[in-house]
Structure 1
Amino acid sequence: MELLEEQINTIKSLLLVPYECVPPAVFLYGHPSTGKTTALTHVLSQFAGLSAVVSCVECYTPALLFQLVLRQLAGEDQRCDSVSSFVSTLQRIADEHPEENIAIVLKDAERLRDQDASLLPTLLRLQELAARPVCLVLVSNIIWDKFLTPGGLPQPLLVHFPQYSRGALLEILALDRPAEVDEHFYRGFLSLLLAVFLAPCRNLRELRYLARANFARYREPVLAGEVDAGDARRLWRHVEPHLKAALKTVYLREVSSAQWERMQGLMPGAETAGADDTRRLNTELPFYSKFLLIAAYLASYNPAKTDRRFFVRRTGRGPGRVRPRPAAGARASALLTGPRTFPLDRLLAIFYAIVEDRVAPTASIYSQVSSLVTLRMLARIGGSDNLDIAKYKCLVDFDTIKSIAKTVHLEVERYLYDFV
């Protein structure tokens, strides 16, 4: 809780207040796994009034949202088909509990943007409509600016949850240390894990999963008596191949740990697991989406200074003058650092260089980039809505890209810095 002390104190100052002093709306936002729910749950445990916590993922209609909120506030099912019915029922519940504030918490609030356009403005004005001390708390992974509509919205009080620092992540991950494991030994493993994964992934849930999945491999030679627990160099050499393999599965692995371990070769059946996963990821993408994904991979793993060498046309299609292959140490370092971010204009430049047809820069091409982000094959970095300044990162591994490239008859190795 010390890591969230500032945010917890801010929420307390807004919710743990005397009767009729709660604000109309509070907006908690930040990247996934930054402690929003943890901090809010801690404050609500001290909240003396009525509270309801609902996930907007479950509420595909306004009526269902109203019913779930009223069920938690009143303790029984309440029929509610309209906003006026919801407000009148909310007034009755407030009158039955005088001198008590009401907090309505809506998690995954970005889903409200897919509902009726009048729902969110109505919820933000609940205190005004009901004339009762009702505070709406919205919890979201996106910034408030993305909720704004042309007609405008009432401005809530904003509480930002920043990403955890390296030190904070280390402290949180250390809480999962098995009881029989020495703390210094486990922290040494976490330091290696963060050195590999921190650049491409700062999601706490993903890092915790990776720590649990790889710690057994890290400790294996120690338990076998082959390596001393203090020999960090030999431990690193032992676990390095497994961390490299895990780096390719960040955000793309199956939820099942058994399937992920088969990809690592930890269980029987590992020989076919990789091929099955490649076939699963190599979906029937549109023709130009395949070239866009290949271009994204090239932009993520090729240094920007090599673009002219590979993609400026000289005597036909393909890269120009071939240079000596980079040293093995440099290639290993590039693999460990993971995919790098690139701007949209670089992605499109590579796309137009590798695609055979003359493709006009239409809205269809831009929409296919957005579709690849939705499919979690690309990650969008930054919060701007302007496509021309957006930055992206490829989340697909080389085996999948190679498989996709075969379907469009493209020899992707000719364009990769590590293979030339």
Structure 2
Amino acid sequence: MDSLVNQLKMNFPGRTYQIERLFSLFGYKNEPFVSSVFIYGPSSTGKSAVVGSLLDGLEIRNACVNLVECYSSKVLFESILNQLSGHKIDPFKGHPYAKCDNVMDFIFNLRKCADEVDLNKSVIVLDKAERLRNMDYNLLPAFLKLKELSGLSVSVIFISEIIFEKYYFKARTLEPIKIHFSQYTREELWEILRLDFDHVQNFIRNNFNENFDINEEFFSNYLNLFLSVFYRVCRDLSELRHMSKLNFVKYCEPVFKKECKLEDSMGLWRHIAPILKASLEVLYLRISPVSQEGKQQSVEIKCDGARTVKQFTFSKESLAQFLELPFYAKYLLIAAYLASYNPPKEDKRLFMKYHGKKTKRMKDVKAKNIVSEQLNTQLGPKPFGFERLVAIFYAILEEKVDFNSNLLVQISTLVELQLLSMVSDNCDLDSRKYKCCVSFEFIQIISKTVDFNITKYLVDFN
């Protein structure tokens, strides 16, 4: 078993404490399993990956369900029973192992499944467990006491992005064992990204140059440069991994073209610095950095052989032109940008017709001499509340429209498209905080499609 723990520590750097804690709870065969474990932490911190790898390595029968997919109690119960029993659904008939409409049916069928399959020391993993708060009120207490209610040695692992104190329920239950997955540090991210060395090297050889041989030191130096730019802006491992692979190809372009050598670190840095800066503006949009013309760009990379590889990159301007958003969604995105880059105290002056006379003070006169580095559009987006977003939306929209569920869905769509990011808990609609992720050039093009002059409502230009 020590070999399994050591292997997990090598595969998941920075998660030594969490792996040892989970192994102490589930790794000893002679000890009973705990009733429930609550694992929480930010996204992309290895929660689901560590739990899945540990359970598979220990060969523990488990059922892992994602509550985004299991949107109702019926689907959740049937999915758990299908996995624990090993039942495979016929694609033509589609009958589950057993139909469960409530908690009592689930416990009855769970005991029935235990007569057919050994469920002793089995585990149920509920990923995205915060969704339980929007489902039936008795689900969370039932899963916390599932071992007691069913009489079986079944443990439940909750994986969530919020703390347990934000799970509201009236029933008094024993709190689960809590394990926190903290955010990765810069050194831990560097170690994790280094694990992609073999994959990146094979990708370069298969697509660009078969004879191109890079060493780990060259790749490590690139990661140091990459994290020096991106670490202060983003801690999401999946986004950092995607952008590091995308920009590493551009980092190697001078070597492909024989303009620089592998040892010329200063020449490679001068080449990649503006590209990394442009990549920050499209960090969450999953597109390539902007080209100089602002259009689709075709880059030809000549290798040592006779083969030439073409890479097509699309700028954020071209994406904004072809992005098909509903009419009101564009206005919501514009309102979000204005809320992110305007101070709240200026809303009355910018969006109200009769805002009163503003007295000129000395600090307002000095503010006219502000440098470009201190402009709000240069300092980055600020979080804003849901009520302020709605207020600005109605202020800039000329026609009158009722605020209904369709507009709420469009806000969720903007979050899913990574045009907006949620920076708070989503348990309460009124307390939600958002942040706009698009650049000024991007929102200018969106504004032109609806014939809206956005510079008129920005403090930096007004």
Aligned to 1:45, the other structure's residue is in SS state: helix
Gapped runs of 5+ residues in structure 2?
A: 1-8, 89-96, 202-212, 289-294, 300-309, 359-363
Among 81, 92, 96, the alignment partner of 2:100 is: 81
Task: Kindly provide the CA deviation profile for residues 358-408 of structure 1, in whole angstroms up to 9, marking residues without a partner as x.
Answer: x9xx999x9799655466333233559678887543211223311333356
Q: Write the mapping of 1:13-412 to structure 2, written as runs, cut at 5 A.
A: 13-18=24-29, 21-47=32-58, 49-76=60-87, 78-82=97-101, 83-94=103-114, 100-151=120-171, 154-177=174-197, 178-179=200-201, 180-253=213-286, 266=299, 274-280=317-323, 282-285=325-328, 289-299=332-342, 323=368, 326=371, 330=373, 339-342=380-383, 344=385, 351=392, 355=396, 371=412, 373=415, 376-383=418-425, 392-406=434-448, 410-412=452-454
| 1:37 counterpart letter in structure 2 | S
SS of the residue corresponding to residue 135 of structure 1 reads strand
Work out the CA distance in 1 between the residues paired with 2:374 and 2:389: 25
CA distance in 2, matches of 1:345, 1:402: 23
Are the structure 2 counterparts of residues 270 and 25 from structure 1 closer, same or farther at C-alpha, using a change threshold of 3 Å?
closer
Q: Corresponding residue for 1:258?
A: none
- Answer yes or no: is the 8 Å Cα contact 1:56–1:108 preserved in 2: yes
Kept in 1, the 8 Å contact 2:143–2:156? The answer is: yes
Distance 1:356 1:137 in 2: 47
Tell me if structure 1 keeps the 8 A contact 2:337–2:436.
no
Q: CA deviation at 1:251?
A: 1.9
Aligned with 2:328: secondary structure? coil
Contact 1:51 1:102 in 2 (8 A): yes
Q: Is the 8 A contact 2:36 2:177 kept in 1?
A: yes
Amino acid at match of 1:129: L
- The whole-number CA distance in structure 2 between the counterparts of 1:218 and 1:414 is 39
Structure 1: segments with no counterpart, 5+ residues = 256-261
Normalised by the size of structure 2, how large is the TM-score? 0.70
Counterparts of 2:62 and 2:429, CA distance in 1: 40
Mapped contact 2:130–2:160 kept (Cα < 8 A): yes
Question: Counterpart amino acid of 1:210?
Answer: M
Deviations 1:7-29 (A, max 9, x none): 01111222234567222111111
1:182 to 1:276, Cα distance in 2 relative to 1, 3 A: same
The Cα of 1:103 is off from its aligned counterpart by: 1.0
Structure (1 or 2) with the greater helix fraction: 1
Closer, same or farther: CA 23–298 of 1 in aligned 2, 3 Å: same
How far 1:185 moved relative to its partner?
1.7
Change (3 A) 1:350 1:191: farther
Deviation at 1:144, TM superposition (A): 2.2
How many residue pairs get matched? 400
Distance 1:270 1:39, change over 3 A: closer
Whole-angstrom CA distance in 1 between matches of 2:404 and 2:110: 46
Deviation at 1:71? Answer: 2.5
> In structure 1, what residue type is equivalent to 2:335?
L
Structure 1 contact 26–136 (Cα < 8 Å) conserved:
yes
Cα deviation digits, residues 254-278 of structure 1 (max 9, x gap): 69xxxxxx96754576578842444
Distance (Å, rounded) in 1 between the aligned partners of 2:320 and 2:410: 23
Which sits farther off after the overlay, 36-45 or 88-97?
88-97
Classify 1:306/1:187 alpha carbon distance in 2 versus 1 (closer, same or farther; 3 Å).
farther
CA drift at 1:213: 0.8
Q: Distance in 1 between matches of 2:328 and 2:443?
A: 12
Relative contact order, CA 8 A, sep 6+: which one is greater?
A: 1
Seen in structure 2, the aligned counterparts of structure 1 residues 143 and 264 have a Cα distance that, compared at 3 Å, is farther
Shift of 1:3: 1.6
Q: CA deviation at 1:283?
A: 3.9
Q: Which amino acid aligns with 1:275?
A: S
Q: What is the CA–CA distance in structure 1 between the aligned matches of 2:73 and 2:424, rounded to whole Å?
A: 31
Do 1:292 and 1:351's aligned partners in 2 also have CA atoms closer than 8 Å? yes
Q: Residues 248 and 397 of structure 1 are in contact (CA less than 8 Å); yes or no, is this contact kept in structure 2?
A: yes
Name the amino acid aligned to 1:379. Answer: S
Q: Is the 8 A contact 1:206 1:251 kept in 2?
A: yes
Give secondary structure in 2 for the equivalent of 1:192. helix
Between the two proteins, what is the percent identity of the paired residues?
31
| CA deviation vs aligned residue, 1:145-168 (integer Å, no higher than 9, x gap) | 333235566522211101100110
Deviations 1:96-132 (A, max 9, x none): 6679312111222233334333333222221111112
- Displacement, 1:409? 5.3
In the alignment, the residues of structure 1 paired with residue 419 and residue 315 of structure 2 have an alpha-carbon distance, to the nearest angstrom, of: 22
SS at match of 2:260: coil
Give the alignment's Cα RMSD to 1 decimal. 4.4
Which amino acid letter does the alignment assign opposite residue 107 of structure 1? D
Cα separation, 2, equivalents of 1:49 and 1:286: 46
